Amino acid sequence: TQLLEQSPQFLSIQEGENLTVYCNSSSVFSSLQWYRQEPGEGPVLLVTVVTGGEVKKLKRLTFQFGDARKDSSLHITAAQPGDTGLYLCAVSNSGYALNFGKGTSLLVTP
C-alpha cells in the first residue's frame, strides 16, 4: 500500500492554463513537503507545510495542507513551460529520511 497517493499521474496542458495536483493519504502527518524534479536533475524543495489548513504561496504556486493534515494540494496559476517537471510530495518517517509519492508529471506546452 502506497503511503502517499498523487494524482493525476500525468498532466499535459497549454501555457496559460491553471491546474491543481493532489497528494492524499489515510495517515496524519506533522509536515509535508513538495518537491519539483526537472529532467536530468534531482528533486528541489518547493515548500514545507506544517499547520492544518495552512496555505503557502510561491509566486504562481499555491500550496495547501488539509485541515486534518492527511492531504495537500498544489495549484499553479497561468502555467508556463518552465513549470514542466515531476512534482513530488513527501513526508518524513520516524527517522530523517523521506517517503515520497510517485509524483505528477506535468508538461506545459507553449
Partner 1 sequence: ETGVTQTPRHLVMGMTNKKSLKCEQHLGHNAMYWYKQSAKKPLELMFVYNFKEQTENNSVPSRFSPECPNSSHLFLHLHTLQPEDSALYLCASSQGSSGEPGADTQYFGPGTRLTVL
Residues of this chain that bind partner 1 (CB under 8 A): 2, 4, 30-31, 33, 40-45, 48, 88, 90-103
Select from 31, 30, 22 the least CA-distant residue to 4. 22
Nearer to partner 1, 66 or 101 (CB): 101
| Minimum distance of partner 1 from residue 85's CB (angstroms) | 13
Nearer to partner 1, 15 or 41 (CB): 41
Cell of 53: 489548513
Cell of 41: 536533475
Residues 6+ apart with CB under 8 A from 77: 18, 60, 61, 62
Nearer to partner 1, 42 or 110 (CB): 42
